[in-house]
Amino acid sequence: MAPIREMLAETGITEQQWRVLRVLSEFGVLDAKTLADRASLLFPSLTRIVATLRDKGLVTQTRDQKDRRRQFIEITDAGQKIIDDRADEAAQIVAEFKATLGAERYETLLDLLADLDPGARA
């Protein structure tokens, strides 16, 4: 993950913050529960990360009016721009990583890790 962190250093956001933004970018508006699940984060971590992203203007929080315990989180244009600007670069880093192992061994690794963590989504 080091190369990813280096890439993100310029943007001032962390790996996990980036992951949250990516999930929001992919799935759109999400309630906190679903977001935590998709980003593989525990709730207390998510609370802090979303607070940080909100302060940076990269996401918005909205209370569910039908159930005021819940909230929805949505990515802002500024947040989306960060994802867009780095998407290609991130893809290339993953590609290089893959090349280091070789495509076949890369797939093997993903399979092994998936078997070890039933919670992950391949």
Which residue ranges make up the site for a second copy (CB under 8 A)? 100-101, 105, 108-109, 112, 115-116
To DNA, the closest distance from the beta carbon of 12 in angstroms equals 8
37 contact, one of DNA, a second copy, none, CB 5-8 Å limit per kind: none
From the list DNA, a second copy, none, partner contacted by residue 117 (C-beta under 5 to 8 A by kind):
none
Residue 83's identity, in one-letter code, is I
Residue 108 partner contact from DNA, a second copy, none using kind-dependent CB cut-offs of 5 to 8 Å: a second copy
Residue 38: partners with Cβ closer than 8 Å, 6 or more residues away: 23, 27, 30
Nearer to a second copy, 43 or 97 (CB): 97
The minimum distance between CB 117 and DNA, in angstroms, equals: 11
Interface with DNA by CB under 7 A: which range of 11-19, 74-82, 83-91, 94-102?
11-19
Report the alpha-carbon distance of residue 94 to residue 92 in Å, rounded: 5
In whole angstroms, give the CA distance from residue 64 to residue 112.
Answer: 39
The answer to whether 46 touches 53, Cβ cutoff 8 Å, is no
Mark residues 33-72: x for contact with DNA by CB under 7 A, - for none. x-------xxxxxxxxxxxx--------x--x-xxxxxx-
Which residues contribute to the site for DNA (CB under 7 A)? Answer: 5, 14-17, 31-33, 41-52, 61, 64, 66-71
